[in-house]
Amino acid sequence: MNEQDLTLRRLIDVGRALVSELDPEAVLTRILSEAREITGARYAALGVLNARRDALERFITSGLDEQTVRAIGPAPRGRGVLGVLIREPRPLRLPDVGSHLHSFGFPENHPPMRGFLGVPIIIRGQAWGNLYLCEKTDTDEFSPEDEDAATVLAQWAATAISNARLYETSESKRLEAERAVRALQAAQDIADAIGSVDDLREILEVIVRRGRSLVDAQSVLILLREGEELVVAASAGHVHEALGRRIPLHGSTSGQVLMRGQAQRVSDAAADLAISPTHLGVTSANAALLVPMFHRGAGVGVLAAFDRGADGDSFQLADEQVLRAFAASAANAVAIKRSVEADRLRAAIEAAEAERSRWARELHDQTLQTLGGLRVMISSALRRADAEGLEPVMRQAIADIELETANLRGIIADLRPSALDDLGLVPALHALIERRRGEGLEIAAEIELAEDGARSKLQATLETTVYRLVQESLTNVVKHSDSHRCKVQVTHTDGELRVCVSDEGSGYDTSAQTAGFGIAGMRERVYLAGGDLRIRSGPGGTLVEASFPAL
């Protein structure tokens, strides 16, 4: 078998191997290796054209070590002799590439090259790139047989590259379809949970478990927004004692993700996250994926996934896309469940207010009327009585009745102050403050509300919320702070209503688990009114501060 037959047999074997390879990068590497072997070239390169087919987008070499490649500098873009093949895609064989009319010479540190052979790679009638061979090892220049072999190899390469690209596209679509199906299944699980589970916490647990499975994460957290903070509301995976932990909205990477509405992939969690994952209970995070949760344009929270797979790899764009779609379903679930809970809570508070109003009416219409009639009867009896001992007894009874009448008036005012219904928030607050002053509390008051006639411009429900907030805060000052002085501020400027009650006492425990003096109720009322409540208490005093959007 002569050399030509051997070359032909080798080309056939190479062709079979190339078309069976489905990895595009492996195909390119194999083409360069086989081209050098078949033609005896010392160096080989493959240039991939850009979308306009007027320059090289990639330049892959074989025969040059990495140190030489770095020393040469930037890869060629397709000028000079290489540009000839781009403009005229047909084989080009030169005994001395440096002497060609269009040669620009070689850059510094480039090894000497004379013999040159270039052939185009044509895929479906269009130039895809070029195969370049230089410096034949056993002679000065490439032969016509080398040109024929390189041309056949380029044809095999075109077929192999086309097959690999088709496979890559189909595989990508298959994986994308699988991810879409998994995301739909996860969304369906959330929808089923909404209909069958009453507790929001259970919904959140479903979300973190399904989210972790979707992106194969070692740990997943849900951080829900509460005012100017993000709070860990649920977790799955390798997370320790994370529930309830808080991070600021401003100054944290998760907060930035929520405020910008853009997902962020982090390859080095320890270095790139503004707040260490250990603060959230994730003790050994390498990579992170943070995705915002939005419902109707409002930021609900953030889904945070850490470490993909068993090795803790970085998350890819496909992971980000599938988790973003899932986060939208999760945000809807949280919003729906919160809305249901808010409706129930609102109904309970409205029922409580209605009950208080009923008691206030009954106490006013029955108890006070009865006590008033009793006072009149005793006074009449006193005027008619002859017994000398009757007078002190009757006078004491009248004093007791008057005291009870005053107490009942205070109870009625606390249950539902008539001034709030009849006159509005400002007079009701002044009346409340005067009653507390009568109990020995020094109060500095600053109440400045925009008014429409004698009434404030606030909605009735917001007026009730503000009144109850001030009322409960003053009650806590009297009962728990050991302070005799406090300050009340209620102001309305630039579309924001601000309520502030502060004292100089010893402070008290404000946690919802231990506070038995209405703090939980205060938080619920403020939340339903769309406001933000902050309570700070310590040896220097207590500050209760709330703000509401009051347009």
Q: Which domains does the chain have, with CATH numbers?
A: 3-168 (3.30.450.40), 181-338 (3.30.450.40), 420-551 (3.30.565.10)
Question: Would the pLDDT of 305 be above 80?
Answer: yes
Residue 18's pLDDT band, with cuts at 50, 70 and 90, is: low
Among 214, 321, 338, residue whose Cα is nearest residue 265? 321
Residue 180: pLDDT band with limits 50, 70, 90: low
- Residue 364 sits at the vertex; the CA angle it makes with 361 and 370, to the nearest 5 degrees, is 135
Q: Above pLDDT 70, what percent of the chain?
A: 72
What are the tens digits of pLDDT across the range 130-143?
999 999 988 888 99
What's the token pair of residue 411?
Answer: 């109870």
Q: State the pLDDT confidence band at 514, using cuts at 50, 70 and 90.
A: very low
Q: What is 356-420 written as a DSSP string?
A: HHHHHHHIIIIIHHHHHHHHHHHHHHHHH---TTHHHHHHHHHHHHHHHHHHHHHHHHHHS-HHH
The string of pLDDT tens digits covering residues 212-223 is 888 888 999 989
- Return all residues near 289 (Cβ < 8 A) that are at least 6 apart: 215, 217, 263, 264, 265, 266, 304, 305, 306, 308, 315, 319, 320, 323
For the question of whether the overall pTM of this predicted structure is more than 0.75, the answer is no
Q: pLDDT higher for 186 or 224?
A: 224
- What pLDDT is attached to residue 512? 45
With H, G, I as helix, E, B as strand and everything else as coil, classify residue 106: coil
pLDDT bucket at 356, cuts 50 / 70 / 90: low
- Identify the residue whose tokens are 């007078």: 391
pLDDT of res. 516: 45
For residue 486, the one-letter residue type is C
Identify the bridge partners of residue 543 per DSSP, sorted by sequence position: 502, 536
Can you tell me the mean pLDDT for 226-236? 87
pLDDT at 259: 92
Residue 168, CA distances (Å) to 121, 129, 276, 316 in order: 19, 19, 38, 17
- pLDDT tens-digit profile of 144-158? 998 988 888 888 878
Q: Give me the percent of the chain exceeding a pLDDT of 90.
A: 18
Strands (E), 438-505: 442-448, 451-452, 455-456, 485-493, 496-503
The number of CA neighbours under 13 Å toward the Cβ of 13 is: 9
pLDDT in tens, 259-290: 999 999 999 988 889 898 888 888 888 999 99
Start-to-end CA distance of the chain, whole Å, equals 94
DSSP label at 112? P
CA distance 330 to 326: 6
Give 64 or 461, the one with higher predicted confidence.
Answer: 64
pLDDT tens digits for range 446-479: 998 866 544 566 777 788 888 889 988 888 888 8
What angle, rounded to 10 degrees, do the helices at 24-39 and 144-196 form? 170
Phi (first) and psi of residue 169, to 5 degrees = -65, -45
Each residue of 314-325: pLDDT tens digit? 998 888 888 887
